[in-house]
Structure 1
């Protein structure tokens, strides 16, 4: 079996959330526990850090991995979804899982697929856990796929759990209130295991998290109260952070969300000090080189400068509210703003459109996935909210139109969906 055949088999033989949405979601841990037993519990061979939350999981996971890698540890990193290459999901010290390992794992797993009928994410999770054992990692940073309590990754027994923040998302699975969603994400809290919460605001959120932590006798650390970040200044090349414990640190990631993420990461580092040897130099290197060290893409990422082309994977109301605020702050730094926008059909499109600024010129489009909201429908909805622009059949076509219209002193922003950013990155490779 070749690598290409293996990936095709994964997509064809297992339900893929990235492609079909909620139909691929399999609540419960029965399948992953069956796989875990068959593969002899690979995650018990190394230490794990578990990261859940509505927004910021990816940035937090990648930065922690970069810091631990800079501290001299061999680090596995499991995140989702991927943007361009399936192998982005599974990395060791920043290097993607090998094509040979993917092909070999899938070929040998076909019997389990036919017997257990796992989802794409369940089988991919087990592949990652096994690859980390095969690669003899010291520690693996594991990002939750959806929710927490019933997520496939929740079979691990981490040395630290992290919940970045809570917003309304996936309400058909996680609940209709912030408190209910918080209770689902709190499902990753394990007995006697410290848990860091980045942002506990929202009705019922703190109560749900504290109740679970108390039930599990798990020490709970609230990043907002821990105050490890004293000052954050946004520079042209990233943030400059004045920290309580690690000196002045330059952060490579520049989105407004990174201030909250940094507070969460610094609080997590305090909890990890007893488990790992982490130096100020490792912290500085990890923050300053997270993209190079881990391959992180799509977080307020600048792809060109004249005009400035930026993309971001924020795709729910909370994430796009921060993007909208960042665009407002940058409004007078550029002559004009061009916004290439596409969304997934299962998002709260109405809520997002109310948050977006009215002054950019919009280019409404759709990504090359069945889950995309048709561009015509998005445009009609947007026009009702006062967002003006034209419709384009693909992200590449929308970007071409934006570039043709923009001067060298303009800003082009591309986002609204992971899938839109994925198509963008693929189109400019």
Structure 2
């Protein structure tokens, strides 16, 4: 079996969330456990860090991987969804899994897949665990797909868990209140395993503290441990000061420029601190890691500058809290006119997302080539009702081309709204 054939098999035979949404989910961990059992339980053959949260879990996972790679460890990294290549989901010291390895896994286990009838995500999780076990990683950073309690990744027992933050997203699946959503995310907390909560929130703090107490899991709220002071962008990288109890500890340089990364950084540093006795990491490794995340792990689409004059930025923010953080960063950048290229999925509460968008921007509405995508014309109509006016384009590249043709060199073009929109950029 060749790679294109294997990929076609996975997409055509299995329910895929990014194509059909919640209908692709198969509640419970039974299928994942059955797959892992047949594979010799690879999830128990390597040590790991589990990362959940409404926003920031992908960036945090990549930062952790970059730090531990810089410290000399052999690091596996599993994230989802991918942007442009399926192989991006599985990385070993920053390098994606080979296409041959994907094809071999699918060919070798095709009968198993057909007997269990898992979802696309359940298969990718099993593939990741099998790959990391065979590659004998020192540790693997495992990002939750959706939620936590019933997520397929939740069959591991990690060395530590990180829950970045809680916000409104996937409310049809995870619950309509922050405590309900937090309860699902808290499902990754394991007995006796340290858990880091990235951001303290009055409505969710008690949820995490109660769950951790029930399981005798040491709990630490990262933003109560570290304060990250922003010193601005110098030479294309964000300068920050890390403080503890009001005293400066050290300075860091981040290549992930969004101001929301300051919140993610606190959680990442807390994980490194908690696991220092298990996986020692020098301050030099921390500094090198966070300064070179994109080069070390291949992370894309997080406040990523695609060009200058006019400046074009791509960011995968796709929910209310994510967009709020994104525009907080946008406000720190000088520009003449803000032009926003945007596409959204259809199966979310779009009214909350659209109200986050500035009325003064010029809009270019587009849609990704996936069944979950909201049509650009429907998006235009819904946005117009809220005073966000713009034109319709068939895809993100056509929309970007139009924005570039109309922009002055002092303008700022932002591409956002969905992972699937960003993924289809030809120059990402």
TM value normalised by structure 2: 0.97
Q: CA shift at 1:329, angstroms?
A: 3.2
Superposed, 1:243-322 pairs within 5 Å as 243-244=242-243, 247-322=250-325
Q: CA shift at 1:266, angstroms?
A: 1.2
Aligned to 1:28: 28
Q: CA shift at 1:170, angstroms?
A: 1.3
Aligned to 1:5: 5
> Bigger shift: 364-373 or 73-82?
364-373
8 Å contact kept, 1:166–1:202: no
Cα distance in 1 for partners of 2:302, 2:231 equals 18
8 Å contact kept, 1:200–1:222: yes
Cα 1:23–1:230 change in 2 (3 A) is closer
Q: CA shift at 1:264, angstroms?
A: 1.1
8 Å contact kept, 1:234–1:254: no
Cα distance in 2 for partners of 1:356, 1:248 equals 33
Aligned to 1:68: 68
SS at match of 2:331: helix
8 Å contact kept, 1:178–1:202: no
Q: CA shift at 1:327, angstroms?
A: 2.5
Q: CA shift at 1:178, angstroms?
A: 0.7
Aligned to 2:90: 90
Cα distance in 2 for partners of 1:344, 1:29 equals 26
Q: CA shift at 1:325, angstroms?
A: 2.4
SS at match of 1:168: coil
Q: CA shift at 1:168, angstroms?
A: 1.5
Q: How many residues align?
A: 423
SS at match of 2:332: helix
Aligned to 2:231: 233
SS at match of 1:155: coil
8 Å contact kept, 1:58–1:143: yes
8 Å contact kept, 1:19–1:370: yes
Cα distance in 1 for partners of 2:137, 2:104 equals 20
SS at match of 2:109: helix
Aligned to 1:356: 357
Cα distance in 1 for partners of 2:208, 2:3 equals 42
> Bigger shift: 318-327 or 28-37?
318-327
Q: CA RMSD in A?
A: 1.2
Q: CA shift at 1:244, angstroms?
A: 4.3
Aligned to 1:385: 386
Aligned to 2:140: 140
Q: CA shift at 1:349, angstroms?
A: 0.9
Cα distance in 2 for partners of 1:385, 1:154 equals 40
Aligned to 1:105: 105
Superposed, 1:124-203 pairs within 5 Å as 124-203=124-203
Cα distance in 2 for partners of 1:341, 1:98 equals 32
Aligned to 1:419: 420
Cα distance in 2 for partners of 1:323, 1:232 equals 15
Aligned to 1:213: 212
Cα 1:202–1:374 change in 2 (3 A) is farther
8 Å contact kept, 1:161–1:196: yes
SS at match of 1:302: strand
SS at match of 1:393: coil
8 Å contact kept, 2:342–2:416: yes
Cα distance in 2 for partners of 1:4, 1:411 equals 38
Cα distance in 2 for partners of 1:261, 1:242 equals 14
Q: CA shift at 1:150, angstroms?
A: 0.5
Tell me, yes or no, if structure 1 residue 342 matches structure 2 residue 333: no
Q: CA shift at 1:271, angstroms?
A: 0.6
Cα distance in 1 for partners of 2:353, 2:171 equals 16
8 Å contact kept, 2:229–2:243: no
Cα distance in 1 for partners of 2:7, 2:116 equals 19
Q: CA shift at 1:159, angstroms?
A: 0.2
Q: CA shift at 1:78, angstroms?
A: 0.1
1:333-383 CA-to-partner distances (Å, cap 9, x unmatched) read: 112111001101112211111111111110011111111111111111111
Q: CA shift at 1:230, angstroms?
A: 4.6
Cα 1:96–1:365 change in 2 (3 A) is same
Q: CA shift at 1:202, angstroms?
A: 4.9
Give structure 1 regions of 4+ aligned residues with deviation exceeding 3 angstroms.
none
Cα distance in 2 for partners of 1:226, 1:324 equals 26
Cα distance in 1 for partners of 2:206, 2:280 equals 33
SS at match of 2:313: strand
Q: CA shift at 1:243, angstroms?
A: 2.1
Q: CA shift at 1:247, angstroms?
A: 2.0
Q: CA shift at 1:75, angstroms?
A: 0.1
Q: CA shift at 1:234, angstroms?
A: 2.1
What 5-or-longer segments of structure 2 have no aligned partner?
none
